[in-house]
Structure formats: structure tokens, C-alpha cells
Structure 1
Amino acid sequence: MTFRIRSAGMSDPGLKRPANEDSMLIDDDHSLWVVADGMGGHKNGAFASSQAVGCLAELTFEEDFDAALQRTADCIYAANQQIWNAEGGSEARGTMGTTIVSLLIRGQRFAILWVGDSRAYIYRRGGLFRLSTDHTHVQDLVDQGMLEPSEAEHHPMAHVLSRALGVQETVQVDIVEDTLEPGDIFLLCSDGLTGPVSEGTIREIVSANPPGEAVDKLIEAAHANGAPDNVSVALVAVESDS
């Protein structure tokens, strides 16, 4: 079985931030989509996220899934080192960084690679399922059984990252892999979407609209709920081409 891909994306500054620190890549030709949410103030955050996305944008890929996945992961590790080195002296290091979440598709296989709390979801068979796990201190407590998931959502430290690109000399990139099904819709987004907009609302919008319209409606939903942060959204719809 072969697939046809339709994608759309948008990055919006939101309603409270003076500038946008997020960066995105929508690369249908190479079947790679990326969202990165910079941190450390506008100049530093924008630099960090653009470094991460720029590294991936310059890749040339093999058709082989495993080789393409390895190159993508290697590039994310390299971006971490580039951001770390760019910060200069030891006192400045750790003051800027970025999350990253990416989707790679080859043939009938896909992979999600991520660091931080920008998320990946899949809409499949009527349900919206999260593919990534937030790299935050609060999520770590949930994973350790020290905090209930219901307590984590509105925890005052919910957005304090335990992992991000550029804040330490080494980083671990998490990866999940699976096979595609016709009708799959992938969502990559910064926490500027998932903070103000519920997963139920996200599911309703994604299920009822083609990618371009859904992206617009998701941004509108964030605005309707105050949009306190930059909002970046990428949607990738998979359709049967056979």
C-alpha cells in the first residue's frame, strides 16, 4: 500500500508574547515535519529553535527508513551541541535552549523524535492519542508514581522542563516508531496549543476539518483561550493512494 500525504502548518506569536521564539519545518518532499519551541528570551530562544530546525532542513535523506531515522536523530544530537557551544562561557551555558518534536515518514513506517514538552499526537480510528511524553519535572513525578496525572495538569511547575536541546552538553532523544494506517492524522505542536486548548477540543477540530482549515481553527482556539504563549501547529494527514 502507498500513501498520499497532505500537510499544513502555522506558527503564531499568540496574544501575550512580544515576539515568536518557535520555529517550524514543513517538508513534504522529504516527509519530515518539525516544531521547536525556543526558550531563554526572544533572541536566545529564537536562535536555539532556528538552529534545531535549520539542521534538519539541510539534511538529505535516503529512502531507507532506518537510515533516515538515524540521520534525523544524529542531526538533533548535533543541534544540541551547536546550541551548547554557541552559548560561550560556562556562566552563560544553560540559559537558552529549545524543545523539538519531529515526524519522519518513509513508505509505510513513521517515527516521532522529541526532546522537551512539545507534543506529537495521532488521530486514528476516531481517537486522539498522544505519542510523546513531556520531558518535565512534573511528568517525571507522575512516571515515578509520586503524583497523580490529574494533579499534574494544573501543577504550578507543569512547564518546568527536565530535558531540552542546548541546556546540557549531552541530551537523550526519545523515539517511537510504528506503521501507518489510511486516515491517520498527525499533530505536532508547541505547548502554546496544549496549554490553553483541551485535548477534547483538539480532537474535535482535527477530526472535522482538512489540515489547512484545522490548523487555522486550532490557532483560533488558542486565541479564544488567551494564547499566553507562542503557538505552533503542524498537521499531517495520511490517505491511501492505492
Structure 2
Amino acid sequence: VAGVLVLAESLLAFNVGDSRVFEVDPEGGLRQVSVDDSPPLPPGRRTTSVVTQTLGGSRAPSPVVPHLAAFPTAGADRYLVCSDGLTDPVPEDVIGSVLRTADDGRAAFELWKAAIEAGGPDNITLALVRIGDDDTVVPG
């Protein structure tokens, strides 16, 4: 689970598990502002997520501690909120390239399409959030 809350002069990013929040720079570069709860694994190997464990996916209870981070908004910020269904099969440089070359609506579609074309091994959820003159959320 990941998301953002846009306030008058700041943005609150939150997550639990391996869904992520990225700040997108104007050139399409990504800076992860969320914290992964799942350890990195070799390609093709998966683990049960902390969220699944909490919902009954393991025998022992597992506490959930959300990660929270606040950032001042600078007037023209852009954030990508996504599940690992995007970030596992699609490399960050490809995500950045799409964000650099496509407007928000087209970028959301192209990122979803890239994850599907890479095999779509998990749910693919994403939203682009642009803060500026026209605050917009583009779901994917």
C-alpha cells in the first residue's frame, strides 16, 4: 500500500510493504521517497509481503508499521505512486524515460503497457500526481 496526501504547502508520502512512492525530477529521473519492507530477492523469486502476512498469510501475527515522510512542495512537483507490479518487471531507467517523454495521461498508459508487455507478474497499480498550477492525479 502506498499513497500521498497533498496539503497546502507540503506532501505526505506513506507506504507499507513494497509499493513505492517516487519523486520525479523534470528530466524523468526517479528518487524513491518510500521505504521497502520486503528484502530484495533474485529475479523470479518472490516472498509473502508484510501486508499479506498481516491479513492472514502467515501463521504468526506480523505488526504493520507504516512509513511516513513529509516534503515541502516547490510549485511544480511530480510523484509516481505504484505497486511492485510496475517496478518489478520494468526497470527504473525505462520508467524514467517514459515519464520524460510522455505527458501524464499518456505516461500512465505507457507504464501500464510496459508492465503488461514484461509479463505482468503482479497487480499493476499506478498514479501520477502533479503539484503546481493544475493539481492533477492521473490514475493508471
1:123 partner letter: V
| CA deviation profile, 1:189-234 (whole Å, cap 9, x unmatched) | 1111011100011111112222211110001111221112221111
1:184 to 77, 91, 94: 77
**Residue 196 to residue 156, structure 1, CA distance change in 2 (3 Å):** closer
SS of alignment partner, residue 86 of structure 2: helix
- Whether 2:18 is the aligned partner of 1:130: answer no
Q: What's the counterpart of residue 221 of structure 1?
A: 114
Could you tell me how far apart the structure 2 residues matched to 1:155 and 1:133 are? Answer: 20
1:9-158 correspondence runs (5 A): 100-126=1-27, 127-136=29-38, 138=39, 152=40, 154=42, 157=45
Indicate the structure with greater helix content. Answer: 1
**Percent of matched pairs sharing the same residue:** 28
Q: Which residue of 2 aligns with 1:166?
A: 55
Task: Kindly indicate whether the alpha-carbon contact (under 8 Å) linking 2:26 and 2:100 is maintained by their aligned counterparts in 1.
Answer: no
SS at 1:134 equivalent: coil
CA contact (8 A) 1:124 1:183 kept: no
Mapped to 1, the partners of 2:85 and 2:24 lie a distance apart of: 19
1:135 counterpart letter in structure 2 = D
Larger radius of gyration: 1
- Partner residue of 1:201? 94
Tell me, in whole angstroms, the C-alpha distance in 1 between the residues paired with 2:103 and 2:83. Answer: 20
CA distance in 1, matches of 2:76, 2:130: 7
Higher relative contact order (CA 8 A, sep 6+): 1
Task: Give, as a single letter, the amino acid of the residue that structure 2 aligns with 1:129.
Answer: R
Would you say how many aligned residue pairs link Structure 1 and Structure 2? 127
Normalized against structure 1, the TM-score is what?
0.48
Note the C-alpha offset of 1:170: 4.2
- SS of residue matched to 1:205: helix
- Residues 181 and 229 (structure 1 numbering): CA distance in 2 closer, same or farther, change over 3 Å? same
- Secondary structure of the 2:125 match is strand
TM-score by length of structure 2 reads 0.79
Kept in 2, the 8 Å contact 1:120–1:130? The answer is: yes
Q: In structure 2, do the counterparts of structure 1 residues 159 and 189 end up closer, same or farther at CA, with 3 Å as the change threshold? A: farther
1:110-134 deviation per Cα after TM superposition (whole angstroms, max 9, x unaligned): 1111111011111024321011121
Distance, in Å, in 2 between the alignment partners of 1:236 and 1:171 is 26
Gaps of at least 5 residues in structure 2 are 135-140
